[in-house]
């Protein structure tokens, strides 16, 4: 897979919540085959950037291009059709539907029934626990299982680019490792990933490049090996040490 080609290009975007200037000229690139992480403190603007890419929020200035096509004036469902799926912060599963029905909702843009069945089997292989609970009401799943379901639901759209927003939030350490192992496997199977994560230690284990966002601006951008040696990054996000 060609890792030099820009799949997603965000150029100088500005986003407002009313009169609050939340995102102040952010630019970033995600190339095919990469896992790129966006780290920062609470309120720095990480989720806002993902929501702009997925079309949930509109930019006031700047552009967002996907495979060379500008998408930041498109509707969210149009962006999903182009090949971008988001796993939102807090999972936001359909709690009253079964696991299987949630997965079917993830494939709402598709009508290739045989391939949908095939992909559902694929996500059950990726998340065996979901197979065991396929008929269970999603709202009764554990937090970790709900995170698995939210990720599996996004994969049912067959995305080229997967946006992951805080996948480790609220999970026990063992489950966090399981989720990140699965993210690595999803990447290895050909899906490009933009990962927002407060747990920078875990994000740095699987990502190839990273951006550090502070108060709506990109403060640093580099390969993970270089970011992990940066004194500011170590002090603020890595607990002083990556070892």
In a shared domain, residues 129 and 177? no
Mean pLDDT calculated for residue range 14-38: 97
Distance CA 117, CA 143 (A): 25
Distance CA 191, CA 214 (A): 27
CATH number of the domain that 225 lies in? 3.40.50.300
Instruction: Mark which of 158, 181, 200 sits at the end of a domain.
Output: 158
In a shared domain, residues 2 and 34? yes
pLDDT tens digit sequence for 104-149: 999 999 999 999 999 999 999 999 999 999 999 999 999 999 999 9
Instruction: Mark which of 100, 135, 158 sits at the end of a domain.
Output: 158
In a shared domain, residues 14 and 53? yes
Instruction: Mark which of 128, 158, 188 sits at the end of a domain.
Output: 158
Q: Decide if 25 contacts 62 (C-beta within 8 A).
A: yes
Model pTM score: 0.92
Domain count, the chain: 2
Three-state secondary structure call for residue 214: strand
In a shared domain, residues 183 and 150? no
Q: pLDDT band at 242, cuts 50/70/90?
A: very low
In a shared domain, residues 146 and 165? no
In a shared domain, residues 211 and 176? yes
pLDDT for position 2: 38
DSSP 8-state symbol, 162: E
Distance CA 123, CA 134 (A): 11
In a shared domain, residues 166 and 67? yes
Determine what percent of the chain is predicted with pLDDT higher than 70. 96
Q: pLDDT band at 24, cuts 50/70/90?
A: very high
Q: pLDDT band at 58, cuts 50/70/90?
A: very high
Residue 240: which domain range? 1-83+161-243
pLDDT for position 5: 54
In a shared domain, residues 219 and 205? yes
pLDDT tens digit sequence for 205-219: 999 999 999 999 999
Distance CA 149, CA 154 (A): 9
Q: Decide if 183 contacts 167 (C-beta within 8 A).
A: yes
In a shared domain, residues 197 and 149? no
């Amino acid at each position: 897979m060609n890792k030099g080609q820009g799949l997603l290009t965000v150029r100088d975007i500005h986003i407002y919540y009313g009169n609050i200037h939340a995102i102040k000229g952010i630019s970033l690139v995600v190339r095919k085959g990469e896992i790129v992480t966006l780290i920062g403190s609470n309120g720095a603007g990480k989720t806002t950037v993902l929501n702009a890419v997925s079309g949930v929020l509109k930019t006031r200035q700047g552009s967002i291009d996907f495979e060379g096509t500008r998408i930041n004036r498109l509707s969210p469902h149009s962006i999903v059709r182009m090949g971008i799926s988001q796993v939102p912060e807090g999972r936001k599963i359909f709690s009253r539907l079964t696991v299987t029905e949630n997965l079917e909702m993830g494939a709402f843009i598709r009508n290739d029934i045989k391939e949908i069945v095939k992909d559902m089997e694929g996500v059950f292989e990726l998340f065996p626990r979901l197979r065991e609970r396929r008929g269970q009401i999603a709202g009764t799943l554990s937090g970790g299982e709900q995170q698995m379901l939210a990720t599996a639901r996004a994969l049912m759209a067959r995305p080229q680019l997967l946006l992951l927003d805080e996948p480790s939030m609220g999970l026990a350490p063992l489950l966090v490792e399981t989720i990140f192992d699965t993210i690595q496997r999803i990447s290895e199977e050909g899906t490009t990933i933009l990962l927002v994560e407060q747990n920078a230690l875990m994000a740095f284990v699987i990502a190839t490049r990273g951006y550090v966002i502070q108060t709506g601006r990109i403060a640093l951008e580099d390969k993970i090996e270089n970011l992990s040696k940066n004194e500011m990054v170590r002090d603020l996000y890595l607990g002083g040490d990556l070892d």
